[in-house]
Amino acid sequence: MTIQQIKYFLELAKELHFWKTAEKVFISQSSLSRQIQALEDELEIKLFERDKRNVKLTNSGKFLQEHWAEKINEFDQIIRQAKKIDAGNLGTVSITYPGSITFEFLPNFLKILNTNLPDLKLELTEPTDENHEKLLLDYRTDLAFSRDKIKNGNIDSLKLYSEPICLAVPNNHWIKEKSLPSIADLQDEKFIISGLHQTTFFASLLRSLFDKYGFEPRTTVESDFGGMILNLVSKEIGISILPLSFKSAKVENLRFIKLDEKIDLYVNWRKNELNKTIKKVVEYAKFTEIK
């Protein structure tokens, strides 16, 4: 039994059509049929019910499809990681990040990497669920920037900086920075913020902030995309609460008023990482500046 045979099986289990599957895996239909038959013979399990018109998975086939699909995905991820380690400076580094660092820290960081590791390829992903811990442990990312420290014995974390969170309001809004009221005075305002029901760190921070001042915000638009929120606030549709980093987007008709709350940025990576390039990239993250 080979890895390739298992991949053929999984593709056929998905397509349930020998000719279409053979085209997708770039072999002849007869070769595919022989590979599947050899797999069945070795396992002594019938994987498919087939006649001249139809191909169906047996119950044993369904069981193996469910479990093998996950294992093959893990296997492929591990192989990709080994290739990255082997490639060194010429390899690829995957990075996940929160949208709030898009406008200042991340571009500055990427500029440093481009200068010092010009042959390094980067894969950037902004995950909406922010489950950076699982992405790291599953080898689906190599570095994760996050607003909270990942507390896992298999992950190292480093705090890079802290910054204020701010009210974002249109220029003509009645709130002035020198006469900033208590947040409790904003109960009648329309808010454009992340959904407070979500499990992300920033949604949790907002829930704590509103709980502290004893009211539930009047949310008119929920969005996790900072660029969208900035544009809606600038169109005077509502106000928001965002990290100060978003000020670097330089959106017109927008003011940022610092609140007495701060948020951190961490870089996280797998403990005992064998890819030396990852450690270099972490070092460059330490020296990336923001205004």
- pLDDT at position 85: 66
DSSP annotation of 175: -
Residue 250 lies inside a defined structural domain of this protein:
yes
Residue 260, pLDDT > 80, answer yes
Token pair for residue 171? 């220029």
DSSP 251-272: -SS-EEEEEEEEEEEEEEEETT
Cβ proximity of 229 and 223 under 8 Å: yes
Q: What percentage of the chain has pLDDT greater than the value 70?
A: 96
The tens digit of pLDDT for each residue in 92-116 reads 899 999 988 999 999 999 999 999 9
Altogether, the residues listed in the chain come to a count of 291
The tens digit of pLDDT for each residue in 164-220 reads 999 999 999 988 876 666 788 888 899 999 888 887 888 888 999 899 888 899 999
Give the mean pLDDT of 114-141.
Answer: 86
DSSP annotation of 147: S
Regarding whether 270 and 256 lie in a shared domain, the answer is no
Question: Total structural domains in the chain?
Answer: 3
| Four-point Cα dihedral 258, 264, 265, 267, nearest 10 | 170
For residue 125, what is the domain's CATH number? 3.40.190.10
The tens digit of pLDDT for each residue in 216-253 reads 999 999 988 888 999 999 999 999 999 999 999 999 99
Closest CA to 235 of 185, 183, 187, 172: 172
Its domain, for residue 64, covers 3-84
Regarding whether 255 and 166 lie in a shared domain, the answer is yes
Give the chain's mean pLDDT.
88
Residue 291 lies inside a defined structural domain of this protein:
no
- Whole-angstrom distance, CA of residue 145 vs CA of residue 54: 49
- pLDDT at position 90: 59
What pTM, to 2 d.p., does this model score?
Answer: 0.70
Regarding whether 137 and 78 lie in a shared domain, the answer is no
Regarding whether 73 and 213 lie in a shared domain, the answer is no
- pLDDT at position 198: 83
Closest CA to 197 of 129, 127, 146: 129
